[in-house]
A and B are shown apart, each in its own frame.
Chain A
Amino acid sequence: MSKIFQAFAHGKAFIPFITCGDPNLKTTAEVVRAAVANGADLIELGIPFSDPTAEGVVIQAANLRALQGGVTTDKIFDMVHDLRGDVKIPFVFMTYANVIFSYGAEKFFGKCRELEVDGVILPDVPFEEKDEFLPTCKKFGVDLISMIAPTSEQRIAMIAREAEGFVYVVSSLGVTGVRSEIKTDLASIVAAIRANTKIPCAIGFGISTPAQAQAMAKISDGAIVGSAIIKILAEHGTAAPKFVGEYVREMKDAIRCVN
């Protein structure tokens, strides 16, 4: 079992997503430390991909900036190695199938174990294709995080029963990005998940304000925020860590005591 459950031991979890190498890896490491110091419970580290088909324009642009800055999977591993000197909360990598396939699953997940990266989120690997990586994930003790979407319907039970780490609930149709309103009946989706697994569920896609995070935390075990943080990085660049820290504090405060 990975350490992911620890992320849900301090009230409702706040999970920031950060694209590694945007604008450079030094800033990414500082942003991670600022997020952790301000109450982040688990960090989702994005390994950039040239063609991120599940992302909206904000994260697409971050991927592009990071790759133009020369970031590679190996350089990201080096950064995580440095972070592990002082940062102990769970990490998961979020990337696309080809990044791992190309690196070699054995080598990639072996590296994850060495660096104590607890899980991996792959938006282009649905339940039907998880055997592509699952045997190797299991071998190295890395959780392959399952996603459940508003369109999953009768698939929820099947996915939830075999889910590991936590269940990533996609809040609405479409790609990642800030939304003014989330209309999906998430409470019934979460209920269907909980009927089939004991592992926590966190909701992501479209969350940016403390009020949204609070509403999501009320019906689940945590909130995942990506685009809103990437926007801070896009605006402030290397000066972003301080601003991300403030944002994380505000978001975590909004959900910490939600029941």
Chain B
Amino acid sequence: MTNQNGRFGVYGGQYIPETLMNAVIELETAYNRFKDDETFNRELDDLFKNYAGRPSLLYFAEQMTNDLGGAKIYLKREDLNHTGSHKINNVLGQALLAKKMGKTRLIAETGAGQHGVATATAAALLKMSCVVFMGVEDTIRQALNVYRMKLLGAEVVPVKSGTGTLKDAVSETFREWTARIADTHYCLGSVMGPHPFPTIVRDFQAVISKEIKTQILEREGKLPDAVIACCGGGSNSIGTFYNFINDKSVRLIGCEAAGRGVDTFETAATIATGRTGIFHGMKSYFCQDEYGQIAPVYSISAGLDYPGIGPEHAYLHDIGRAEYVPITDAEAVDAFEYLSRTEGIIPAIESAHAVAHAMKIAPTMSRDKIIVVTLSGRGDKDCASVARYRGENIDE
């Protein structure tokens, strides 16, 4: 889907300082060399299987299905991966690539902390040093993950600039990369930023849809009617969509964080409220004001609290191949509690956005239809903030 200049239709590109151009060119060259390399893929498969726990389960949510009384619901259990989310897929790929490139240091941004934890984990495993940039607001919302990263040997830098959330963490990681390139790889956590990141991250996350396809054909003998995933920058959703893009009968649905609602300023739903712009290395959709100033977005979910979306999603939206729907904090929290009670699975608050949409559409579909919802991560990290949302204070 990526064309020669790293574009998805008009989206994508490389809008970065000259200082970083040779770094992204070096990365692209290395990626093109290793992506079909037998040894590289054997090593990555081994890490996926024996370290991360792949393939992840495709679980039939029978009680949820019966309770909602419509389409059959399957859950793709990325929450069961080592480190507790889909982020490990991309990180193992990029860390291994960085190692092959002779890099000794990984830097990363993180929102909810899941990508930071995954990066710190890969750095520990591959004996690399690691610095994670995290918005100061998020270090408070996700204190447990800060501790996990430190435990894994990473340095965590709280980012105070701007709104102190994910977008500022991304900006600060780019600034750090500009200052130190020779030994450092920026392990970007989503399908965003300058080319080749949106393509590399997508390729490493595409394992999600590859497995779903095999697993659902084994179980049901047919493709699902819809696949649903939450969508901030959009890495677990593009991973969920990718191998179904050419299967036109499969609806691809991305769930954006509407925060307190798309009619308020406290939202992070980029497709619903943003317009085309250029930021963080890419042309895509962004939440912004009339003069192009990036909007201070909001969501209860630190991992979806980002004012942009990956360029391939912008393209899939424009050509009408994928649908993007906003899910509010209230709907996500309800889904978080619902899945916990109904299936005994506590989803990440990010993933709960996808669960919430499945709860809306499953009852409208007939019983012979199939929905696959990707649970991008587990929800232990969110218990304290959901408790706070419900007016209860608990110690983490």
Chain B contacts for A147, CB-based, 8 A? 17-18
Q: Are A173 and B180 in contact (CB under 8 A)?
A: yes
Q: Which of B88-96, B168-176, B213-221 contacts A (4 or more CB under 8 A)?
A: B168-176
Contact B174 A128 (CB under 8 A): no
A89 on the interface (CB 8 Å rule)? Answer: no
The reply to whether the CB of B158 lies closer than 8 angstroms to some CB of chain A is no
Instruction: Provide the residues of chain A in CB contact with B16, threshold 8 Å.
Output: 124, 126
Bound state CA distance, A147 and B19, in angstroms?
9
Q: Is A98 an interface residue (CB 8 A)?
A: yes
Not counting A98-B278, A98-B288, a sample of 13 additional A-B residue pairs whose C-beta atoms are within 8 angstroms of each other reads: A49-B293, A50-B162, A51-B162, A53-B171, A67-B293, A101-B278, A102-B288, A124-B17, A151-B22, A151-B181, A153-B22, A173-B19, A175-B175
Q: From residue A189, how far is it (CB to closest CB) to chain B in Å?
A: 12
Partner-B contacts on A (CB < 8 A): 49-51, 53-54, 56-57, 60, 64, 67, 72-74, 96-103, 123-129, 132, 147-153, 155, 159, 170, 173-175
Q: Which 7 A-B pairs have the closest CB atoms?
A: A102-B292, A174-B179, A149-B19, A97-B278, A50-B293, A98-B292, A149-B18
Checking B175, B286, B288 against A53 with a beta-carbon cut-off of 8 angstroms, the contacting residue is B175
> Is the C-beta of B277 less than 8 angstroms from some C-beta in chain A?
yes
B179 x A102 contact (CB < 8 A)? no
B198 interface residue per 8 A CB criterion: no
> In the complex, which residues of chain A have a beta carbon less than 8 angstroms from the beta carbon of B5?
128
Q: Does B13 contact A (CB under 8 A)?
A: yes
- Whole-angstrom CA separation of A128 from B283 in the bound complex: 14
Chain B interface (Cβ within 8 Å of chain A)?
5, 13-23, 161-162, 167-168, 171, 174-175, 178-181, 276-281, 286, 288, 290-294
Partner of B278, one of A67, A74, A124, A126: A124
5 residue pairs bridging A and B, Cβ less than 8 Å apart: A49-B292, A73-B291, A96-B279, A124-B15, A124-B17
Q: How distant is A43 from chain B, measured CB to nearest CB, in Å?
A: 21
A175 and B177 CA atoms in complex are apart in Å by 10
Bound together, the chains give a CA A51 to CA B279 distance in angstroms of: 9
Q: Which residues of chain B come closer than 8 Å to A103, judged between CB atoms?
A: 291-292
Q: Which has the most chain B C-beta neighbours within 10 Å: A147, A170, A175?
A: A175
Q: How long is the Cα–Cα vector from A208 to B378 in the complex, in angstroms? A: 50
A-B interface contact total, Cβ < 8 Å: 120
Distance from A64 Cβ to chain B, minimum over Cβ atoms (Å)? 8
Determine if A102 and B181 form an interchain contact, defined as CB atoms under 8 angstroms apart. no
**Distance, CA A67 to CA B291, complexed state (A):** 11
- Chain B proximity of A70: nearest CB distance (Å): 11
> Using Cβ atoms and an 8 Å threshold, which residues of chain B touch A73?
291
Cα A60 to Cα B168 in complex, Å, equals 11
B183 CB to closest chain A CB (Å) equals 12
Across the two chains, which residue of chain A brings its CB closest to B23? A151
Report the minimal beta-carbon distance from A63 to chain B, rounded to whole angstroms.
10
B103 → A minimal CB distance (Å): 15
Contact residue among A60, A64, A101 (Cβ-Cβ distance under 8 Å from B292): A101
Given A51-B162, A98-B279, A127 contacting B18 (CB threshold 8 A): yes
Residue from B21, B281, B290 having most chain A Cβ neighbours under 10 A: B21
Chain B residues near A149 (CB, 8 Å)?
A: 17-19, 21
Min CB gap B200→A, angstroms: 18
Distance in angstroms between the alpha carbons of A141 and B20 in the assembled complex? 29
Chain A residues within an 8 Å CB radius of B286: 98
Contact of B178 among A132, A159, A174 (CB under 8 A): A174
Chain B residues lying within 8 Å of A159, measured Cβ to Cβ, are 18
Tell me which of B22, B161, B168, B281 contacts A124 (CB under 8 A): B281
Q: Which among B14, B175, B281 has the greatest number of chain A C-beta atoms within 10 A? A: B175
Query: In chain B, what residue has the closest Cβ to A74?
Result: B291
Provide the residues of chain A in CB contact with B13, threshold 8 Å.
128-129, 132
Q: Which residue of B lies closest to A122 (CB)?
A: B15
Q: How far is the CA of A150 from the CA of B288 in the complex (A)?
A: 33
A56 closest partner in B (C-beta):
B175
Neighbouring B residues of A51 by C-beta, 8 Å = 162, 167-168, 171, 279-280, 294
B279: chain A residues within 8 A (beta carbon):
51, 96-98
Are A126 and B162 also in contact (CB < 8 A) when A98-B288, A103-B292, A173-B178 are? Answer: no
Known: A51-B171, A174-B175. Contact between A126 and B161, CB under 8 A?
A: no
